[in-house]
Amino acid sequence: MEKKVILQTKKIGKYFYQPVKFKALDDVSFKVFESEFITMVGKSGSGKSTLLYILSTMDTDYEGELFIGDEKITGQKPNYLAAIRNKNIGFVFQFHYLLPEFTCLKNVMIPALKLGKFSPQEIEEQAYQKLDLLGIKNQALKQASKLSGGQQQRVAIARALINHPKIIMCDEPTGNLDSKNTSIVLETFHQLSKEFGQTIIAVTHDNDFAKASNRIIELADGKLIHTT
């Protein structure tokens, strides 16, 4: 059975104008399928983080077209894009961006409380489930600042999952982690894609991490030069 296309770009182009005009992305077209774990690689300045920002719907100043599922995202209004992000996309960054004074549980709950789809009691139960999935349920009531870097990143992944997004987008998710915690994050992403049908798109400089993903998209000078 053919996999469903979850995200697609058609001839994406992007210009920056400072200090001089240059083309950061040039005619980038590809498809991402449901439950796929892909990594985007390339040297610094290749355009991979710029592309991720466009895929996330937060940058709307580009040429070409972006689709999430069957829906054309290009040209939609900011409020609508915010709703699309809340519903469809979870974010994991190199820096976990947890609120240090809050418990892990509260940090995970925040995006769902903002969305307001479930009661606080239901959201708390779901947050415990996500922390359990990440192997850190026993840390739920600890302040985020009291956790190790690897544990904090796992809390950040749990937070990205709380609204049941179709896609998780990651910018250098293992950039601050040692090899042991990198392996844990990698295993988690494989589990999320295989068992839970999540689609994961991760920008990385880590070649071993990239090789362990389902597919690599390589950029150079703003162009897609290779996809496995």
pLDDT tens, N- to C-terminus, the chain (228 residues): 668 999 999 999 999 888 888 889 999 999 999 999 999 999 888 889 999 999 999 999 999 999 998 899 999 999 999 888 888 898 887 767 788 889 999 999 988 888 788 898 999 999 999 898 888 899 899 988 898 888 888 898 899 889 888 899 998 888 877 888 888 888 889 988 988 888 999 999 888 999 999 999 999 999 988 777
DSSP single-letter state for residue 101: T
Element (DSSP H or E) covering residue 153: helix 149-161
Longest dimension (CA), the chain: 52
Residue 73's CATH number? 3.40.50.300
pTM: 0.89
Return d(Cα 15, Cα 29) in angstroms, integer.
16
Q: Are 43 and 220 in contact (CB under 8 A)?
A: yes
Q: Are 13 and 52 in contact (CB under 8 A)?
A: no
Estimate to the nearest angstrom the gap between the alpha carbon of 129 and the chain centroid.
20
Place of tokens 């210009």: 15
The answer for residues whose C-beta is within 8 angstroms of residue 95's C-beta and 6 or more apart is: 176
User: How many structural domains does the chain have?
Assistant: 1
Return d(Cα 198, Cα 9) in angstroms, integer.
19
Nearest to 7 by CA among 84, 53, 69: 69
Write out the residue range of the structural domain in which residue 101 sits.
5-227
